[in-house]
Amino acid sequence: MSDHLVAQRRPGESTTASYAVEAEGLVKQYKSRSGTVDAVRGVDLRVATGEVFGFLGPNGAGKSTTVRMLTTLLSITAGTARVAGVDVAADPDRARRSMGVALQEAGLDVRQTGRELLVLQARLFGFAAKAAADRAAELLTLVGLDDAADRRIKGYSGGMKRRLDLASALVHEPEVLFLDEPTTGLDPASRLTVWDEVRRINRNGTTVFLTTQYLEEADQLCDRLAIIDGGLIVREGTPQRLKDELRDRLGLDAGPTLDEVFLDATGRTRTKAAGDVQEVSA
Amino acid sequence: MSTLVGTGALGQRALREAWRTPEALFPTLFIPLFFLVVNVGQAGKIFPSDSTDFLQGQGYAAFQLPATLLLAASFGGSAMFLVEDIEGGYFDKLRAAPVSRTSIVLGRLYAEAVKGAGIAALVVLLSLPFDVRVATGVGGFLLLIVLTAIWSVAFSAFLQLVALRTRSAAATQSGSMLFFPLLFLTPNFVPRDLLTRPMEIAATLNPVTYVMEGMRALVLDDGWAKVGIGFAVAAVICAAMVALNVRTIRNYD
């Protein structure tokens, strides 16, 4: 795959926002038959421009709900969120132009070909027909899907679908890329390919907001991370700082792993976590 | 991006989708034609054209054609594809793009209108061997196609509404069953004045009756007033369903 994959920001287009992602007091409540459910209970986040930011948490902690609020897919009960300096609730369309979104399950229309999907995505972001076709061809080359470009997506492997999903999130050269569990379900080789792509995307100036179930992935890719549990941020910092803090606090001889930081932050033990947290069950 | 351009782009995608799933189109054509053949075969001799006033000189197949068209226009396949989009995550991909929410629902409905018109034209052509003629001529034929397309959009919009609210394939499929009571509580075998009193009341309260009578008026040349009422009823239902779709997708969480 080419080294050029991704969003090359045009001169003068870089964001002037001090933070690529900024959330204050973010709350999401759902009404259910049994009452009100607090999915997110007041999240404060600041992601600097150019960072790869990891967002971790056990299942049901509020990760995806937070990402869906930040990406305009879910209404915000209380608090504010800005992406690339744009308030996502007040001006969602402008915010959407600044962000690329690749959600948990590669959101693809399997009856289309890879080329058709990218052309449509470009058209939805305002490209004229010819420009959309050119951008689709460029991205297909960049993600190494030239040969499969005119085949229906239904026949793609999991790794190919994930690369196409990534390409579709980059079609408009976003300032911030949200990746929700981008490697879940992929084989190890495909996972490494996606990691390489994330690094390349970030090198070209795109801020990456990554949620993941895999702590190794967070350790490898993220400049900084936050751990959410029960709808609240319970740890935030660089992976090394979080490990150092745990080592100092518990007086450990050896440096802890990110797994141990995660377990400590979420109040879980390995035995308890084995049942409900996939990433620490090995 | 304007709503119109977005609707066009998403409509083309929905048409490609329909073209690539002939297994979904086949029943839309086959089942209504099957009913046409069976109904005409069973009741055709009871209503000979030369002694049945309400046939206006045509065969019973001409009287049955509107029911066939309405059935063909009421499969609402777009709603099932919409549920697939929702369940597979592509719907969120569309919602994350700076495209008007209205375009997302109108794109599919635009494709339904094109499909509805195409299927209506095909059904009329396939009914020609049954001695069916559109008595109001080429203009009447075109109006028949347009009325079928409007109904197709109205019913698809109703099913899309079910899909958007429930996000469930099972519920959406159940919603499509609603058309059967609506279709059969109509004057589909004989005119309204020949129905029993309870059936006549039910048919009078059923809006599909007026669409059917409008279509029938075009086929049998049975008065333009009925055509006008048919168009008005179909248009009002269509507008109401589209408005509810737009409201629902704007508040979709």
Looking at every residue in chain A, the average pLDDT score rounds to 88
| Model confidence band, residue A93 (pLDDT cutoffs 50, 70, 90) | very high
Summarize the confidence of residues A98-122 as an average pLDDT.
92
The whole-model pTM stands at 0.87
Where residue A1 falls among pLDDT bands split at 50, 70, 90? very low
Return the residue of A nearest to B18 by Cα.
Answer: A111
The answer to whether A123 contacts B1, with C-beta atoms less than 8 Å apart, is yes
Shortest distance, CA B70 to any CA of chain A (angstroms): 28
Contact B89 A75 (CB under 8 A): no
Q: What is the mean pLDDT of residues A7-33?
A: 73
Residues of B in contact with A94 (CB under 8 A): 98
Mean residue pLDDT of chain B comes to 94
Closest chain A CA to residue B6: A124
Give the pLDDT confidence score for residue B151 in this predicted structure: 97
| Pairwise CA distance, residues A96 & A101, whole Å | 9
Cα-flanking dihedrals φ and ψ of residue A254, to 5°? -90, 155
Contacts of B94 in chain A (CB under 8 A): 124
CB pairs under 8 A between A and B: 74
- Amino acid B151 reads W
Q: Greatest CA span in chain A, whole angstroms?
A: 62
Say yes or no: ipTM exceeds 0.85: yes
pLDDT of B27 above 50: yes
Which is more confident, A193 or A77? Answer: A77
Give the list of residues 6+ apart from residue B105 with CB closer than 8 angstroms, or none. B157, B160, B164, B242, B245, B246, B249
- List pLDDT tens digits, range A128-154: 999 999 999 999 998 999 999 999 999
pLDDT at A7 over 70: no
- Answer yes or no: is pLDDT of A204 > 50: yes
Q: Is B114 a residue whose pLDDT tops 50?
A: yes
| Residue in B closest to A97 by C-alpha | B98
Q: Is residue A17's pLDDT more than 80?
A: no
Query: Which residues of chain A approach chain B closer than 8 Å at the C-beta?
Result: 71-75, 93-94, 96-97, 99, 101, 103-112, 116, 120-121, 123-126, 152, 168
Mean pLDDT for the stretch of residues B138-143:
97
Q: Give the pLDDT of residue A237.
A: 95
* Of the candidates A185, A253, A178, A246, the residue with the CA atom closest to the CA atom of residue A213: A185
Average pLDDT for residues A179-199, to the nearest whole number?
Answer: 89
Which residue in the block uniquely carries the two structure tokens 């609210």?
Answer: B165
Q: Report CB contact under 8 Å: B93, A72.
A: no
Determine the angle formed by the axes of helices A129-142 and A158-169, rounding to 10 degrees. 130
The ranges assigned to domains in chain B are 3-250
* pLDDT classification of A186: cutoffs 50, 70, 90: confident
Specify the higher pLDDT residue, A13 or A32. Answer: A32
> Which chain A residues are closer than 8 Å to B13 by Cβ?
109, 112, 116, 120
Average pLDDT estimate for A50-55: 96
Q: CA of A165 to nearest chain B CA: how many angstroms apart?
A: 10
Q: Residue B142: in which H helix or E strand, if any?
A: helix B137-166
List of chain B residues whose C-beta atoms are within 8 Å of the C-beta of residue A116: 13, 16
Q: Is the pLDDT reported for residue A11 higher than 60?
A: no
